[in-house]
Amino acid sequence: MTFNDIFKSSFLENVTSISILDMVLAMILAFAIGMFIFLIYKKTYQGVMYSSSFGVTLVALTMITTLVILAVTSNVVLSLGMVGALSIVRFRTAIKEPLDIAFLFWSIAVGIVLAAGMIPLAVFGSVVIGIILLVFTNRKSHIIPYIIVLNCDGHDSEVKAAELIKIKTQRMIVKSKSAQKGNLEINYEVRLKEDNTDFINELAGLSGVNSAVLVSYNGEYMG
């Protein structure tokens, strides 16, 4: 063993395993495509409460995945250690929207593909996925379904309210009905003939009707 071998460090040797240009290019592209994923997520989000932190997470996840895969591809031993380290990670955050899972996998996949050097695949694939999500997620029916929550005090008022709803709407379906002594609550799924919702005021003014609430319905339904 020579004097130089004593101070030889495998850690320092790994410094030059990836060039500065490769690192800068990969991280810039990861940030750019991550921002593209974030914008698509923002445009296609249809949940109740929009979380900007999740959008930032998509950008960060793309860059972090790129960083990890760059390290793994430069060292086989490190790749085996990374598999063992990541296998003990557990994520407890609940995913509220099913589509959010697709965005998470999209960010991870882009990070992996970029770090592997397949830049055209990452860019082209992201553009295609983004267009597909924009087209199918933002495609809405020409007639938006609504739910009318009606509270009345008896059968006669229920019949009057139902007749008015049939006249003012294109389609009416009873979704649920609960009855108590002197009180009825009925939920109707309706399709409006036009955007005018003033008939709810007329409905609430009927004799025996305690309240009438119109709510936009975003759930899954069969046309």
Residue 192 placed within a domain? yes
pTM of this prediction? 0.61
pLDDT along the chain (223 residues), means of 10: 49 61 89 94 78 86 88 65 57 71 90 88 93 80 76 88 88 87 88 82 88 74 41
For residues 111 and 9, membership in a common domain is answered with: yes
- The confidence score (pLDDT) of residue 121 equals 92
- The H-or-E segment that residue 190 falls in is strand 183-192
Same domain, 114 and 15: yes
Q: Are residues 149 and 132 in the same domain?
A: no
One domain for residues 88 and 189: no
Q: Answer whether 186's CB lies under 8 Å from 176's CB.
A: yes
Choosing from 120, 137, 154, the residue where a domain stops is 137
Tally of domains in the chain: 2
Same domain, 72 and 174: no
CA 49 to chain centre: 11
pLDDT at 36: 95
Last residue of a domain, one of 137, 168, 195: 137
Identify the pLDDT of residue 127.
93
pLDDT at 222: 40
pLDDT of residue 221: 42
Domain with 186 in it? 145-216
Q: Are residues 120 and 162 in the same domain?
A: no
In angstroms, rounded to a whole number, what is the distance separating the alpha carbons of residues 217 and 46?
12
Q: Over the stretch 146-171, which tens digit does the pLDDT of each residue have?
A: 898 999 988 888 888 889 888 888 88
pLDDT at 78: 59
Indicate whether 89 belongs to any domain: yes
Q: What is the pLDDT, as a whole number, of residue 40?
A: 92
